[in-house]
């Protein structure tokens, strides 16, 4: 078996990727497609923790939250990530993986609360840990939660799985000459105003010397190629 270049990773999934071709909610085919890639990664022996967004259901800055208190809207968004986490964990269990959902807000009748030593134990046992409810605080995105949990878990890299296959010099949908960066430094990303992650998440990763890899979750097998160190997506590093 080919040896992966990472032993432990934090995978950040966007909630929007769960929608597939639907306008909102969870598309079963899309979630099964993602889980296939996670299963392949697990077979490599990589310890994996996952943070998933809630933008397919609700988010604090969405048009539907207009006029709503921002903190209240953000708490609703956290609950949306719990729904996504449960759906993802269920799909992984059905695919033969053992998954554990841990929430940053207390809803013990649904999922267990986040406790760092327990999460580390699960990872060492080969379980996939899904972190729900972001950081547990309003005004912080799930990008920030991914950076935070990645640092807490001792992950070697944060893998941000999106709908695009990396960071480009310009919008590839508008500029045919746009080129994909295979790698770029944190300072270069800041200088070029590249929207890699939100500012708080980006700063935390940089300060903790935690590299970020941006790749497309819609490309089947991309996650495995990233873990094997192949030229997939864009690496942001010091």
Give the pLDDT of the chain (238 residues) as one tens digit per residue: 578 899 999 999 988 877 767 777 787 888 888 899 999 989 999 999 999 988 777 654 555 567 788 898 899 999 999 999 999 999 999 999 999 999 999 999 999 999 999 999 999 999 999 999 999 999 999 999 999 999 999 999 999 998 888 888 877 778 888 888 999 999 988 888 887 888 899 999 999 999 999 999 888 899 999 999 999 999 999 9
Q: Considering the domain boundaries, does residue 132 fall inside one?
A: yes
Q: How many CB atoms lie within 10 A of CB 32?
A: 12
Cβ-contact 42, 97 below 8 angstroms: yes
Number of H helices, E strands in the chain: 7, 9
State the pLDDT at residue 29: 82
- At residue 55's C-alpha, the angle toward residues 170 and 162, to 5°, is 40
What is the pTM assigned to this prediction? 0.92
Q: Considering the domain boundaries, does residue 169 fall inside one?
A: yes
Q: How far apart are CA 153 and CA 49, in angstroms?
A: 8
90 is in an annotated binding site: no
What is the rounded end-to-end Cα distance, in angstroms, of the chain?
A: 30
Q: Considering the domain boundaries, does residue 146 fall inside one?
A: yes
Q: How far apart are CA 196 and CA 143, in angstroms?
A: 10
12 is in an annotated binding site: yes
98 is in an annotated binding site: no
State the pLDDT at residue 62: 59
136 is in an annotated binding site: yes
59 is in an annotated binding site: yes
**How many domains in the chain?**
1
State the pLDDT at residue 27: 77
For 167, the domain range is: 8-237
Cβ-contact 39, 185 below 8 angstroms: no
Q: How far apart are CA 68 and CA 225, in angstroms?
A: 42
State the pLDDT at residue 63: 59
Cβ-contact 150, 160 below 8 angstroms: no
Q: Considering the domain boundaries, does residue 3 fall inside one?
A: no
Q: How far apart are CA 236 and CA 114, in angstroms?
A: 28
Q: Considering the domain boundaries, does residue 33 fall inside one?
A: yes
Q: Considering the domain boundaries, does residue 66 fall inside one?
A: yes
15 is in an annotated binding site: yes
Whole-Å CA distances, 89 to 71, 79, 99, 208, 221: 27, 15, 6, 28, 20
14 is in an annotated binding site: yes
Q: Considering the domain boundaries, does residue 1 fall inside one?
A: no
State the pLDDT at residue 24: 73
**β-bridge mates for residue 158, sequence order:** 10, 212
Cβ-contact 15, 54 below 8 angstroms: yes
138 is in an annotated binding site: yes
Please name which of 13, 2, 41, 31 lies closest in space to residue 215, comparing C-alpha atoms.
13
Pairing of strands 234-237, 212-216: antiparallel
144 is in an annotated binding site: no
74 is in an annotated binding site: yes
State the pLDDT at residue 60: 47
Whole-Å CA distances, 143 to 32, 122, 125, 171, 225: 23, 22, 26, 21, 22
Q: Which CATH number does the domain housing residue 131 bear?
A: 3.40.1160.10
């Amino acid at each position: 078996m080919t040896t992966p270049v990472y032993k432990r990773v934090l995978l950040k999934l966007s909630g929007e990727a769960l929608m597939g071709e639907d306008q909102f909610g969870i598309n079963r085919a899309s979630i099964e497609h993602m889980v296939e890639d996670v299963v392949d990664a697990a077979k490599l022996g990589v310890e994996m923790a996952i943070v998933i967004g809630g933008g397919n259901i609700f988010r604090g800055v969405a048009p539907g939250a207009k006029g709503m208190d921002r903190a209240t809207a953000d708490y609703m968004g956290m609950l949306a990530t719990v729904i996504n986490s449960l759906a993802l964990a269920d799909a992984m269990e059905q695919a033969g993986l053992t998954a554990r959902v841990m929430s940053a807000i207390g809803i013990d009748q649904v999922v267990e609360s986040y406790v760092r030593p327990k999460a580390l134990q699960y990872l060492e046992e080969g379980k996939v840990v899904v972190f729900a409810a972001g950081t547990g605080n309003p005004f912080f995105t799930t990008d920030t939660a991914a950076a935070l949990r990645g640092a807490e878990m001792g992950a070697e890299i944060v893998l941000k799985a999106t709908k695009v296959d990396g960071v480009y010099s310009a919008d590839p949908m508008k500029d045919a000459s746009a080129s994909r960066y295979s790698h770029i430094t944190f300072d270069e990303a800041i200088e070029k105003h590249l929207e890699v992650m939100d500012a708080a998440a980006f700063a935390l990763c940089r300060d903790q010397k935690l590299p970020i890899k941006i790749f497309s979750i819609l490309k089947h097998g991309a996650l495995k190629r990233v873990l094997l160190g192949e030229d997939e997506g864009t690496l942001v590093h010091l």
